[in-house]
C-alpha cells in the first residue's frame, strides 16, 4: 500500500479528512477498486463457484444461537466439507452466510471491519439496528452479482445490549431486511430446517436447549437437502454453533458441539425422523 502514497510518504489527504466513520466510505473515496461493488461483472453467463448452504438461528431468553452446516457445493460436487459459514461480526453479533462462498467470506471480512472501524473512530459501537442496516447496504451492492447467480444471503444475529435480548435479522438478495421473531433459516436447506424449528421451538428454551434445537434443525435440513451436510461423525466435522448473550459472542468448542451432535445422533438411531411434535 505504501506504493499508493505520494513520494513524500505522508498520509494522503483522504486519510486525514474528518467526517466519515465508515470504512467502506473511506475505501470508496481512496481506493474504490477495492470495494466489491466496483468490480467489473462478466458480460454473460453463470459462473460455477462453491456455494454455502444452510444457516439457522433461534432466540432464547437472554440471547440467541446461530449455527451453520459445514458443506459447500459446486453443482452436484461437494466442494468443501469443512467450510465455516458462521462468523463473529463483533463482540455482540454474528453473521452466518448462505450463497457464493468466496463473495460471502469477503463480505463478512468487510462487514467485520466496518463495525470495528466505526467503533474505533467513534469510541462507541453501532446499535444492533445500525449494524443490520449496514449489512443490508452491502448485500444491495452485490445485486449485480446476484443476478448472475452469485447471490449472498446472510442471517444476522446479535444481542441487543439496550433491550437486553437476542434478535435475528434475515435478508433477501436485494438487501431487504426483516426482523425474525423466535427463529429463522436461510440457504438451500432452509425450508426443511424451518419446518423443524417451527415444530420444536418454544419461547422458554434454555441456552443448552437452543443449541440442541439448531443442531436438530440442521440435521433435518441435511436429511432432505443434498447440498446441506449432516454431522460427519467419522471425520469429526460438526456444525458450527455460536451463542451470543450478554457476555458476548462465543463459538462452541469441538468437544461441546460433538456432545450435542452425538446426543442428537443417538436419539436418531431410534427415531430417524427426530423428535415428534404433539398432534393437537
Catalytic residues: 53
- Give the sign of the dihedral formed by CA 253, CA 224, CA 56, CA 87: positive
Looking at beta carbons only, is 10 or 235 nearer to other proteins? 10
Can residue 263 be called a binding residue for other proteins (CB under 8 A)? no
Looking at beta carbons only, is 137 or 209 nearer to other proteins? 137
Looking at beta carbons only, is 15 or 202 nearer to other proteins? 15
Looking at beta carbons only, is 109 or 202 nearer to other proteins? 109
Can residue 113 be called a binding residue for other proteins (CB under 8 A)? yes
Rounded to the nearest whole angstrom, what is the least distance from the CB of residue 230 to other proteins in the complex? 31
Can residue 86 be called a binding residue for other proteins (CB under 8 A)? no
E strands, 145-280, in order: 152-160, 165-171, 177-180, 183-186, 240-245, 248-251
Can residue 116 be called a binding residue for other proteins (CB under 8 A)? yes
Can residue 75 be called a binding residue for other proteins (CB under 8 A)? no
Can residue 23 be called a binding residue for other proteins (CB under 8 A)? yes
Q: 4: exposed, middle or buried (C-beta count within 10 Å: 0-12, 13-18, 19+)?
A: exposed
**Of the candidates 176, 97, 183, 89, which has an alpha carbon nearest to the alpha carbon of residue 128?**
89
Interface residues with other proteins (CB under 8 A)?
1, 5, 8-11, 14-16, 18, 23, 26-27, 30-31, 34, 109-110, 113, 116-117, 120-121, 123
Amino acid at each position: 500500500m505504501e506504493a499508493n502514497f505520494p513520494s513524500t510518504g505522508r498520509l494522503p489527504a483522504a486519510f486525514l479528512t474528518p467526517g466519515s466513520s465508515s470504512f467502506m466510505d473511506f475505501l470508496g473515496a481512496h481506493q474504490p477498486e477495492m470495494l466489491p461493488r466496483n468490480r467489473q461483472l462478466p458480460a454473460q453467463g453463470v459462473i460455477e463457484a462453491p456455494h454455502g448452504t444452510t444457516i439457522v438461528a433461534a432466540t432464547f431468553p437472554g440471547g440467541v444461537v446461530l449455527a451453520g452446516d459445514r458443506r459447500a457445493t459446486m453443482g452436484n460436487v461437494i466442494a468443501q466439507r469443512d467450510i465455516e459459514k458462521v462468523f463473529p461480526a463483533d463482540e455482540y453479533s454474528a453473521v452466518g452466510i448462505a450463497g457464493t462462498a468466496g463473495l460471502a467470506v469477503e463480505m463478512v471480512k468487510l462487514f467485520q471491519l466496518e463495525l470495528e472501524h466505526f467503533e474505533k473512530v467513534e469510541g462507541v459501537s453501532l446499535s444492533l439496528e445500525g449494524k443490520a442496516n449496514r449489512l443490508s447496504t452491502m448485500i444491495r451492492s452485490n445485486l449485480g452479482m446476484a443476478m448472475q447467480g452469485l447471490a449472498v444471503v446472510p442471517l444476522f444475529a446479535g444481542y441487543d445490549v439496550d433491550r437486553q435480548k437476542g434478535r435475528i435479522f434475515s435478508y433477501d438478495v436485494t438487501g431487504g431486511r426483516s426482523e425474525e421473531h423466535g427463529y429463522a433459516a436461510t440457504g438451500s436447506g432452509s425450508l426443511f430446517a424451518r419446518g423443524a424449528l417451527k415444530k420444536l421451538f418454544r419461547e422458554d428454551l434454555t441456552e443448552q436447549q437452543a443449541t440442541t434445537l439448531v443442531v436438530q434443525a440442521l440435521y433435518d435440513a441435511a436429511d432432505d437437502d443434498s447440498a446441506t451436510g449432516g454431522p460427519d461423525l467419522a471425520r469429526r466435522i460438526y456444525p458450527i454453533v455460536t451463542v451470543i448473550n450478554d457476555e458476548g459472542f462465543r463459538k462452541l468448542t469441538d468437544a461441546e458441539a460433538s456432545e450435542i451432535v452425538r446426543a442428537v445422533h443417538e436419539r436418531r438411531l431410534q427415531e430417524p425422523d427426530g423428535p415428534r411434535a404433539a398432534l393437537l
